[in-house]
């Protein structure tokens, strides 16, 4: 059992003990705290605090749960001279993330078209799992996608300038280098653009059911009863292979780096080593691939919109696209009045930058970065706005979702024990689901997750982000 | 479910305990367990794909198991095949050669994103060998 103490209403600290280099901190309410102690997420968080060059605290958001190496919901920043970079601090699905598109349609207006719209989305945007992809990139295109990300989609007419401006990093990390991505990763990724993947990845048609902050909602283009479309996916097999390749490389080089690690999935390299720099470049290239993937899905969604709704596809405006599995070089205040560049790892955590930050779009400068938090299937999702408090406490980071509390096997057993199928239960709540198997559906049942409302409320109550809007799903297309 | 593997409870990922009378069996069964876990078909059809050869070198036995499963995942993703014919032709603590043959994968249950080192164990038992592997899904 990991020892910790309460710092304030929603903040807890694991004091520094050997071999931790810094204390660890996590956010929770009393109810979620019980669940957090059921798994090994806190000892995993303490392990992160042992890594060389870690700054201030190893942090975890209220959706923390057990992963491998780093816990899910983990945030850690490392010094650029003495610190490390770790694929385990990013995860296999590099730049898994969320984007949200607004429409001008109301909940009532979409109802007659909703089933057709969902059916066509399912047809045109394949999961890519056991099926061919929606788009096959030539080797030349793939190199360019890895190097310049979603800007490639702009060059090819699959994106608008507005899309690029409203994507984290403009959908392109300049540091990326396709040459550091192995051939196997490229072979896996070349026909996976425009595919969702499976598991908790999804496309959702949602309705804005509550506006918490009208001024910010106006700036983001959100209004009550509005239909919005959420896309959740990542870098597919290409990103998985980049992680696999560099975990192998780093593990083989641990003796050279003189690292002794409590978990081999914490495999890491000095960030200023050749190996560390190559991972940063390859991970950035995979992130570029993921942004392009979400952009291609956006392109296909727009096509389906105009085909089924007989409305102009340009009506679908991107609010924002944000990563929640990534490591990036960012500048943060390390002590009052003193900032420095560091490598911030977010594994199941969302960047949440405050108003007037140079990296957020011009039209959101007064409001802060849109922070997109998906709920579990059938539950609400949220739009939040970044604050200065997150910069002070969490290197500008908040939660990424609800966070699992139950295994897939247990979720299935509970759902199948009920006489009413989950699909029917969701339909009774006004949610249409398009999914190829009841088993896959049951594994992602809401009961397998923490209560998203509580997770978001902890973030709001601590001031890490402001609540802007609550979204209710009307239709879900799942990869499996 | 085949009796050489067991899916263990894990909150987020796929944790498998697999056994084999010999190390060769263990490596073969670990590959089969992966594909039985992700293929949603109740009846596995005949293997219709090409025979593919795999050759891997790794630093130690545990790394070899992770690398072998990672290679199977990569081939699965590239060729859209699930491999239920696995013949390990050579195995040491640091190298493996195998011939594998698959069937077209039409409806997988989930993406297996990676074979991890987390909690990885290969142990000698009275009956042979046993391993626990955690896959990120």
Residue spans per domain, chain A: 5-405+449-478
Q: What is the CATH number of domain A5-405+449-478?
A: 3.90.1860.10
pLDDT in tens, B59-99: 999 999 999 999 999 999 999 899 999 999 999 999 999 99
Determine the pLDDT at residue A310. Answer: 94
* pLDDT given for residue A133 in this prediction: 60
Cα distance between residue A42 and residue A342, in whole Å: 24
Is pLDDT at B1 greater than 60 in this prediction? no
Q: Please state the rounded mean pLDDT for residues A310-314.
A: 94
Locate B128 and state its tokens. Answer: 């042979």
Asked if the Cβ–Cβ distance from A237 to B77 is below 8 Å, we say: yes
Q: Return mean pLDDT, chain A.
A: 93
The structural domain count of chain B equals 1
Give the model confidence (pLDDT) of A398-443 as tens digits.
Answer: 999 887 778 777 887 787 777 677 888 888 888 998 887 677 777 7
pTM for the model stands at 0.95
CA distance B115 to B137: 9
What percent of chain A is predicted at pLDDT more than 70? 97
B129 compared with A437, residue with greater pLDDT: B129
CA distance A403 to A118: 26
Percent of chain B with pLDDT over 90: 72
Query: Which candidate from B14, B67, B118 shows the least CB-CB separation from A263?
Result: B118
pLDDT of residue B48: 86
Q: Residue B126: its pLDDT value, please?
A: 94
Angstrom distance (rounded) from CA A346 to CA B118: 19
In this complex, do A437 and B114 lie within 8 Å of one another by their Cβ atoms? no
Q: How far apart are CA A264 and CA B114, in angstroms?
A: 14
Residue A88 is predicted with a pLDDT of 94
B39 → chain A, closest CA residue: A130
Distance CA B30, CA B4 (A): 9
A198: nearest CB among B13, B67, B111: B111
Residue A156 Cα to chain centre, angstroms = 26
Task: Provide ipTM, 2 decimals.
Answer: 0.92
**pLDDT score of B102:** 93
Is B109 a residue whose pLDDT tops 90?
Answer: no
Residue with tokens 């309460």: A6
Question: For residue A383, what pLDDT is reported?
Answer: 98
How far, CA to CA in Å, does A120 sit from each of A134, A305, A311, A477? Answer: 13, 9, 15, 10
Closest by CA position to B117, among listed B55, B67, B54: B67
Contacts of A415-422 with CB under 8 Å at 24 or more apart are A415/A442, A415/A445, A415/A447, A416/A442
Average pLDDT score over residue span A242-266: 92
Q: For residue B107, is pLDDT > 70?
A: no
Dmax (CA) for chain B in angstroms is 39
Q: For residue B111, what is the nearest residue in chain A, using CA coordinates? A: A198
Is residue A134 over pLDDT 80? no
Tell me which of A65 and A212 has the higher pLDDT: A212
pLDDT digits (tens, 9 = 90+) for A369-397: 999 999 987 899 999 999 999 999 999 99
User: What span, in angstroms and rounded, lies between the C-alpha atoms of A53 and A77?
Assistant: 8
**What's the CATH number where B81 sits?**
3.55.10.10
Average pLDDT, chain B: 91
Q: How many CB pairs under 8 A join A and B?
A: 118
More confident residue, A413 or A240: A240
Examine the residue annotation and report whether A400 is marked as an active-site residue of this protein.
yes
B128: domain range? 5-136
**Model pLDDT, residue A377:** 79
CB contact under 8 A, B105 and A130: yes
Cα A254 from Cα A157, distance rounded (Å): 45
Predicted confidence (pLDDT) per residue in A77-106, tens digit: 999 999 999 999 999 999 999 999 999 999
CA distance A131 to chain B (A): 6
Rounded distance between C-alpha atoms, residue A478 and residue A378, angstroms: 12
Say if residue A132's pLDDT is above 80.
no
pLDDT of residue A480: 63
**Residues of chain A positioned with their CB less than 8 A from the CB of B62:** 264
pLDDT band at B3 (very low <50, low <70, confident <90, very high): confident
- Contact criterion met (CB below 8 Å) for A159 and A150: yes
Residues A44-85: tens digit of each pLDDT: 999 999 999 999 999 999 999 988 889 999 999 999 999 999
Contact B11 A407 (CB under 8 A): yes
Total count of residues recorded for chain A = 480
CA distance A463 to A398: 10
Average pLDDT over residues A150-178: 97
């Amino acid at each position: 059992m990991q020892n910790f103490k309460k710092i304030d209403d929603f903040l807890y600290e694991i004091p520094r003990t050997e071999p931790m280099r810094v204390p660890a901190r996590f956010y929770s309410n009393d109810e979620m705290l019980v669940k957090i102690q059921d798994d090994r997420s806190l000892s995993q968080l303490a392990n992160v605090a042992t890594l060389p060059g870690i700054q201030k605290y190893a942090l975890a958001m209220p959706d923390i749960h057990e992963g491998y190496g780093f816990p899910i919901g983990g945030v850690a920043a490392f010094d650029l001279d003495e610190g490390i970079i770790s694929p385990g601090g990013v995860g296999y699905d590099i730049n898994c993330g969320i984007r949200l598109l607004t429409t001008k349609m109301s909940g009532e207006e979409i109802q007659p078209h909703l089933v057709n719209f969902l059916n066509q989305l399912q047809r045109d945007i394949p999961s890519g799992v056991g099926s061919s992809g929606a788009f096959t990139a030539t080797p030349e295109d793939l190199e360019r996608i890895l190097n310049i990300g979603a800007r490639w989609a702009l060059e090819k007419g699959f994106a608008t300038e507005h899309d690029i401006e409203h994507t984290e990093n403009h959908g392109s990390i300049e540091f990326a280098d396709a040459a550091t991505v192995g051939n196997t990763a490229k072979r896996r990724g070349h026909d996976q653009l425009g595919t969702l993947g499976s598991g908790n990845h999804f496309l959702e048609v949602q309705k804005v059911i509550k506006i918490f902050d009208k001024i910010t909602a106006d700036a983001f283009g959100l209004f009550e009863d509005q239909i919005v479309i959420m896309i959740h996916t990542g870098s597919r097999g290409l990103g998985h292979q980049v992680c696999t390749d560099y975990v192998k490389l780093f593990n083989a080089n641990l003796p050279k780096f003189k690292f002794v690690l409590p978990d081999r999935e914490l495999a890491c390299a000095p960030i200023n080593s050749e190996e560390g720099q190559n991972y940063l470049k390859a991970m950035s290239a995979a992130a570029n691939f993921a942004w392009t993937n979400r952009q291609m899905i956006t392109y296909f969604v727009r096509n389906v919109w105009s085909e089924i709704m007989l409305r102009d596809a340009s009506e679908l405006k991107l609010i924002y696209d944000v990563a929640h599995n990534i490591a990036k070089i960012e500048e943060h205040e390390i002590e009052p009045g003193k900032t420095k560049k560091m490598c911030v790892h977010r594994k199941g955590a969302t960047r949440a930058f405050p108003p007037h930050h140079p990296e957020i779009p011009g039209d959101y400068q007064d409001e802060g970065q849109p922070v997109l938090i998906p709920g579990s299937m059938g539950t609400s999702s949220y739009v939040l706005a970044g604050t200065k408090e997150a910069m002070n406490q969490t290197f500008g980071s908040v939660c990424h979702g609800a966070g699992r509390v139950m295994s897939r096997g247990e979720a299935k057993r509970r759902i199948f024990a009920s006489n009413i199928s989950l699909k029917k239960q969701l339909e009774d709540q006004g949610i249409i689901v398009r999914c190829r198997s009841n088993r896959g559906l049951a594994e992602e049942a809401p009961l397998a997750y923490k209560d998203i409302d509580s997770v978001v409320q902890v973030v709001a109550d601590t001031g890490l982000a402001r609540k802007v809007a609550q979204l209710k799903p009307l239709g879900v297309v799942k990869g499996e | 479910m085949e009796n050489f593997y067991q899916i263990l409870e894990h909150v987020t990922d796929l944790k498998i305990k697999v056994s084999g009378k010999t190390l060769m069996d263990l490596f073969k069964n670990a590959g089969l367990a992966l594909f039985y876990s992700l293929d949603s078909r109740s009846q596995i059809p005949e293997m219709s794909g090409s025979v593919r050869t795999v050759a891997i070198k790794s630093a130690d036995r545990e790394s070899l198991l992770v690398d072998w499963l990672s290679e199977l995942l990569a081939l699965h993703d590239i060729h859209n095949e699930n491999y239920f014919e696995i013949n390990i032709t050579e195995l040491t603590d640091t190298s493996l050669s195998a011939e594998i043959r698959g069937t077209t994968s039409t409806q997988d249950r989930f993406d297996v994103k990676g074979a991890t080192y987390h909690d990885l164990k290969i142990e000698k038992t009275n009956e042979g060998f046993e391993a626990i592997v955690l896959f990120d899904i």
